[in-house]
Structure 1
Amino acid sequence: MKISNNIDDNIREFKRVYSDCSDIKMQEMYVGKNGKLKCFLAYIEVILPGGKLADSAFSKLSDFLMTIDEENVKSTIENDKACISELALKYTMEESVQIMLTGDAVMFVDGCGFAIKIPGSGYPAMSVQETDSEKVIRGSNEGFSDSIKTNTALIRRRLRSTGLKCREINKGVRSHTNVDLLFVKDLVKPGLVSRIQHLFLQFEIDQIADSGVLEQFAEKKWYSPFPQIQTTKRPDVAVMALLEGRVVVLSDNSPVAIILPATMNNFLKTADDYYNRTIAASFARLIRYVAAFMSMTLPGLYLAVTNFHTQILPTSLLMSFYEARLGCPFPQVIEVLMMELAFELLREAGIRLPGAMGNTIGIVGGLIIGQAAVDANLVSPIVVILVAFTALCSFAIPSEEFAFSFRILKFAVIIMSAWLGYFGFLITIYWVLLHLTKLRSFGYPYMMPFVGAELNGYEDEKDSIIRFPLRKLKKRAIFADENQRTKLKLKNKERRKE
């Protein structure tokens, strides 16, 4: 519906749309030299409270309109003779109605067939804070906030390049949530951004409450326990992904950015891997890979060995296991499952409980329950140690979504190992590896660079389990455009050799 030149028609339609909305302030006023030109201003109360009206673009515009003739108002606004760059004109009622929902004000002027968008202060939101996850020893501790504009600015501050592009789409039939697709134009592969945008435009939903909604619609194999899209709360991680030729998706009202495509190797990296020296970074990565494997396999391997293949254990160790289990009424598999489920319950309770109380439940609760179970001869001490060590391994995985995959698969390994012993253990590991080799993230092998490393001349292997020195990482990851793979050029080689 086009906006009428008659302001009374526009006011009537606007009030009809926003009837029964007490939080929306609407007021009529008159401008012009003679004060006879009727205007109408509408805004959400919290966006432009009374004290801020005097400091807003609306104040500058109204002051200017009071100095010109009524018949010149339309041409003045259309030609931006008021020199207020923040103003924008909307020519349909649908657009003008949506203006306020993005945190701006809207103004109608009699005789003008358009609405004026006046920027407001935006919705209240949390400011930039330190991340409560993805902790690093070295590097920035800034995290994303709930405001998409703030998050975009945090990325812009770190990547001051004209090649950084931001494409905005609107999702949510009722929520009208802003979603930004960020990419570096000359680094991203042709067609990837359009493919991602088309993927998001394929569905309609009432509300996008968090970027996790977009993540679920973007994953092709939703039934896989492994996430095919990386998430982060850190702007520096998002910038690193952009410089690899990947796409970062931000959703309003969410402090979590999603990065795509992603491979298994991306989930085991941290930001400070690139801020620390090669030896320290490589050692930390090796620990994470070992921890990821053990968090899934350790309880199952214990059951397979102690129930079926005791001959591979030294006699003294086997006797220690036997003596520790004296008096325990349950089979070993029940012991392990019982303690694993108790620990998962403690972990979930610690997350839901507030602040210090949650940390207390996680630590003290685990100690008390474990000690009480051992004293009551319900479980053996070795099982408590085993479960605690497995939990430590899962905490060493940087990505929570990726760690959750191993926590789920751990129970499959336990059941198969208790049923078929070492053969059940191997069958489960084989199935997981087979699934990982078949998994794709927007066409890229999930196991890169451990499979398909030749696609990028084996350059990605230099940044996998072992992180080569930065001077050796001259090529970008496989995600980048083929013509922009070089990211590091060294100069003055002769002088450096000296």
Structure 2
Amino acid sequence: MSFKWSPRTEKKHRKKEIVHEMGFQEENHQLQQDLDEVLHRIKNELGNSPDVIVRTFQIGNGPQNWVAAVYMEGLTDKEKINDFVARSLLTEPDDVLLQSSHSLSIFDVIKTRALTVGDVKVQSDWNGMMHAILSGDIIVLVNGFANCIIGNLRGGEQRSISEPQVEINIRGPKDSFTESIGTNISLIRRRMKSPKLWMESMRIGNVSQTEVAIMYLKGIAEDRLVEEMRRRLKDIRIDAILESGYIEELVQDQTFTPFPTVFNTERPDVAAGNLLEGRIVVLVDGTPNTLILPTTFSQFFKSAEDYYQRFDFAVFMRMIRYFSFLLVILVPSIYIAVTSYHHEMIPTPLVINLLAQREGVPFPVVIEALLMEAAFEIMREAGTRMPRAVGQAVSIVGAVVLGQAAVQAGVVTAMMVIIVSLTGIASFTMPGFTLSTTARLIRFPMMLAASTLGFYGIIMAIILLVAHMASLRSFGIPYLSPFAPFGLQHQKDTIWRSPFKTAITRRD
């Protein structure tokens, strides 16, 4: 029977070559019993890297009773290794072996009675052992046994828990997520001591093997939602996951939209609150940004501080945020429309003042607005990327100097500087930073629509924008809910925040 080559076969063989070159095995391989062969293979697969530490010990008087401990320097806690592994293998096993029964093997004695590590498990798969080494665990190999003992002694340098950098509140907890997924899970569990808080973990990324965990409250989160989240994560095929933004883009329902359909936060209290509402929290190792699904439009206007202060003040601040969102996307376009097409809508003294300001300005009002908005975005980006010691000062001084110089040079009007400054400040009022970015993007096509058809262009753009938002879904949930479709019983925590004494119903 002859073998017929096909493009699919070529692609399959090429995939095997790539996987082999990266050092990953497609099939599970069992460990060998010879200790020297196993150690030699580990060193070869890791390129004889100097940060791979191998320590050997002789247990008892037998010539075959050799034990090796393997770990990665910098990923494992050295103090714990010396206290819980090295000291145990060097001092205790001889006495333990003499007192143990003859039915116990040296492997079982080391696993159950010699090591003082809390989290210990046995692994016979080669890929599982290599992943444990690269994750910072310590591997204990015993000569003559085709298994290894994995001890969780992960350590190394990690950033400590600090205050949030983006979601800043006056009242409330001051801790935030870190780059360690274990620390982030513990921060959530400290707030929710319930056996219904379930967690599932998996590894995503052919090369990075990044640990991704989902957390949800069993019985509150819908089973259909949990299953859909699990399926989408398992369907991801990518080489590496370096930040939660990779997961966000790969699991969202619709990619080509300016609106964020996945909420992210760095605050554990925000994650715990969303768990109580039946949502799913996705934690990614190596990033402090945690994803929350499903997401609605109103969620980006809620702050954790809304639930720590009086309800009336929380309602007032939410109204300010919604109003600020409308300011960002509409004020520049309205100014362009009334100055270009609808002078009759402006009071006569104000029209005379605006026309006097525009004398000598060489650009149409739409070009003037686009130039000022672009200059403001450049200064915002420069202030973000510059060192913190000078970034904020440079952005503020640059905005003041540039605006004053532009007005004195007759390039732009003073009213345009006021409008651009107002919209820029209003964009910072929204707790969800991603929605602030969306508003900044939307105002540019809104200004173009206003310069083309005036208020008719603005109205048409708003209709298209609302229609697009109504078509969005986040894991099957309408993006504009509970506004559209409207549900009166679900309006207790949108713009209005009901007092805690009022019964708050959970959507089932």
1:10-409 to 2 correspondence within 5 Å?
10-32=38-60, 37-48=65-76, 51-60=79-88, 62-69=90-97, 72-77=105-110, 84-409=117-442
Root mean square deviation, CA, Å: 1.8
Identity %: 32
After superposition, what is the alpha-carbon deviation per residue over 1:25-78, rounded to whole angstroms, capped at 9, x for unaligned?
Answer: 113221126686111111111234655432234533554323233973133246
Residue equivalent to 1:485: none
1:454-469 to 2 correspondence within 5 Å?
454=487, 458-469=488-499
Amino acid at match of 1:90: Q
Post-superposition shift, 1:99? 1.0
Contact 1:33 1:67 in 2 (8 A): no
Contact 1:35 1:66 in 2 (8 A): no
Contact 2:325 2:439 in 1 (8 A): yes
Post-superposition shift, 1:185? 0.9
CA distance in 1, matches of 2:146, 2:497: 61
* 2:500 maps to 1:470: yes
Change (3 A) 1:187 1:312: same
Amino acid at match of 1:32: G
TM-score (norm 1): 0.92
CA distance in 2, matches of 1:80, 1:459: 59
Change (3 A) 1:62 1:449: farther
Amino acid at match of 1:10: V
CA distance in 2, matches of 1:57, 1:246: 41
Q: How many residues align?
A: 475
Deviates more, 1:106-115 or 1:29-38: 29-38
Change (3 A) 1:75 1:42: closer
CA distance in 1, matches of 2:109, 2:486: 61
Amino acid at match of 1:257: T
Contact 1:41 1:107 in 2 (8 A): yes
CA distance in 1, matches of 2:68, 2:200: 32
Residue equivalent to 1:4: 32
Amino acid at match of 2:274: A
Q: Give unpaired runs (5+ residues) of structure 1.
A: 483-498
Post-superposition shift, 1:200? 1.4
Q: Provide the secondary structure at the position in 2 that maps to 1:292.
A: helix
Deviates more, 1:70-79 or 1:42-51: 70-79
Amino acid at match of 2:401: I
Residue equivalent to 1:413: 446
Q: Provide the secondary structure at the position in 2 that maps to 1:471.
A: coil
Amino acid at match of 2:500: L
CA distance in 2, matches of 1:42, 1:29: 12
TM-score (norm 2): 0.90
Q: Give unpaired runs (5+ residues) of structure 2.
A: 1-28
Amino acid at match of 1:342: A
Amino acid at match of 2:449: M
CA distance in 2, matches of 1:120, 1:331: 66
After superposition, what is the alpha-carbon deviation per residue over 1:272-321, rounded to whole angstroms, capped at 9, x for unaligned?
Answer: 10111011000000000000111011100111111101111110111111
After superposition, what is the alpha-carbon deviation per residue over 1:443-496, rounded to whole angstroms, capped at 9, x for unaligned?
Answer: 111111111233xxx3320111121212224212x3xxx2xxxxxxxxxxxxxx
Amino acid at match of 2:186: A
Post-superposition shift, 1:93? 1.6
Contact 1:247 1:260 in 2 (8 A): yes
Amino acid at match of 2:458: F
Q: Provide the secondary structure at the position in 2 that maps to 1:69.
A: helix
